[in-house]
Chains A and B, each alone.
Chain A
Amino acid sequence: MRFAYYPGCSARSTCAELNEATHRVAAALGLELTQLDSGTCTGARELRAIDPLGFYTLNVRILALAERENLPLMTICNTCTLNVLDAHAAFVADPDLAAQVNARLADEELRYSGRTRISHFLWVLYEDIGEARLRALVRRPLTGLSVAAFYGCHITRPPQRYGFVDSRNNVALERLAEILGCRPIDYSGRTECCGFHTAAHDERVAIKLSGQHIASAKNNGAAAMVTPCPLCHTVLDSFQREIEQDMGQKLDMPVLHLPQLVGLALGLSPEQLRIDRHMIPFDLGTLAGA
């Protein structure tokens, strides 16, 4: 099973451990990844607002790079996923835009025809590996690990893209956690916002919002959180000491990237998955009571 793999900016900088873990886990799952090294940023939230044509061009270029390889595209970041999905939808719906974008891409002999299948790693697990096979691949069930799934926004909203009347009805992460042997817990922050997208100019919103979510996870018995988005991870983990300072309480909540949780259950070591790069330490032995 081969994928064109687009890691995004975060997994190549502040969350480089996510990129390493994804490569390790993909190998263990039998996924062959062709990394799109010349892929640019998808424009986060900023470019899409202030320069729509630039936004569409960069995203369609990523889709065209995958199409040229004749491979589906695998992403590991919520915001990148939504950006390429939105760009693909706009490209297909608006022939004028499609022509404009393809004209820009012609310089490097790229052309998109609208065929690339887009899939986040979470969806790849369900659609390409399958629950039965994943279950069979589990070498170290994470029995005893109470985990709080933190979806983030862009993998479950907007409703026009994903179809949820109420995004809280999403179950993909909890069901996956169960397959891996964990005990998923319910709490108020599951599908709420971490606040990342305004943090570069003002961290206060991210600190307040994520503080509520981590505290809710902790109060409901989570030993760790897991997220499919490195941007959420950045706030939940890298900002956690500032969050603790703001709340005036210790949280010490380890936060795992989704591929790391999968990798642990597949028998990979925390070191192989680079969990040591996180700000909040994670000790599988203690937390899972193993």
Chain B
Amino acid sequence: MSEPIAAGEARRLGQEERGDTLGARNTRFDPGDTVLVRVRRSEPAARSEFRVPYRKWMRVLDALNWIAENEAPDLGYRWFCGSKMCGTCAVRMNGREVLACWEAVEAEMTIEPLRNLPVVRDLVVDRGPFEDKVFSLEPWLERPALYPGFPEPLSHKDMKYASKALDCIGCMCCYSACPVIALGDLTDFAGPAPLVQLGQTALDPRNDPAKVARSLKRTGIFHCVSCYRCEEVCPAAIPIVTQVIEPLKAKTAALVPEMAKHSLALRAVVAARGRVDPTALVLRVRGLAVLRDWLRALRLLLRGKIDPLKTLFPRRTSAAAAAQRLLEGGRRR
């Protein structure tokens, strides 16, 4: 390629040549081809490499079934519906979470169990920790008022976000892909899958706000780094970050504002200055405790990374005037 490429295409570089599209993934084999499958087994001595004859439209699950039927009857894996409904067959294929029943095979595949959950055997993980977490979030409706009778005054707009969350099949792909969950107990972040389960009822306007607040307090939701790894692997195509976690964050900011200190501080800084002054933001969020880190502040100062004068005496810029008008005005309206 030597000429400039068309507007809007650069952001997709790699998709065509690396066969990233679903179409490409399903047409890369010929009859008679062999699929090389490596499975991470629990027993180190167990056979882990298999050559599976390719069949048209072969899925990861078909390959696993062939292995279990022909060469490794002791292979541990789990599936039930085979049609993207039950959410039990999720595995990692070449480092990416997929539903075995809905993913085309690749010529060479390394199949591993999901991350961030204990392994029972081979590809089977223990869903217990996830289920405990979901249960602790009390993902059910509690009505603050009496049932108003049928039909309930509830519109599609009221249920916009909850209905997205209701598409969840509980496969745990997102839970495995989440980099914050991978850090273990470092934070109290509940993780994407439990938050989606919570969103099904916490984003339902009929729920009791006091009960929702109680649930949200246990989510550690502001530890979500917004990396979209969960959305990338969700087989139900739920916009987990934008249509579940962000609406839940908005609810948290309204019902449990002390949890949303960072978000509220950013809003205040932008409303006052038009732009983020990182020092002003961090001071607002962490208070004078940041001064304990004076050595680091000095290093940043020496490199010109921070400017205390600018932080202490912000200039009246046109950006500040605009943000003040649009954000403060928006709050009044």
Contact = CB atoms under 8 A, between A and B. Distances in A.
Interface of A: 9-10, 12-14, 16, 37-41, 43-54, 57-58, 61, 86, 104, 107-108, 117, 119-120, 122-123, 125-133, 153-160, 162-172, 175, 192-193, 195-198, 200-202, 204-206, 208-209, 238, 241-242, 277-279
Given A193-B225, A279-B303, A61 B11 contact: no
A8 B98 CA distance: 36
B322 interface: yes
Contact of A238 (B183, B225, B300): B300
A44 B242 CA distance: 13
B154 interface: no
B14 A172 contact: yes
Interface in B286-326: 286, 296, 299-300, 303-307, 310, 317-319, 322-323, 325-326
Contacts of B179: 192-193, 195, 209
Contacts of A133: 4
Given A175-B13, A205-B180, 19 more contacts: A13-B306, A38-B318, A41-B274, A41-B323, A46-B263, A48-B246, A49-B245, A50-B260, A61-B322, A61-B326, A104-B326, A126-B10, A131-B2, A159-B232, A160-B237, A163-B15, A164-B14, A169-B20, A200-B281
Given A51-B330, A171-B14, A195-B225, A126 B5 contact: yes
Contacts of A39: 319
Contact of A52 (B13, B22, B250): B250
Contacts of B68: none
> Chain B: interface secondary structure?
helix
> Chain A: interface secondary structure?
helix
B267 interface: yes
A84 to B, nearest CB: 13
A238 B297 CA distance: 11
B281 A107 contact: no
Nearest to B281: A200
Contact of B307 (A13, A160, A196): A13
B217 interface: no
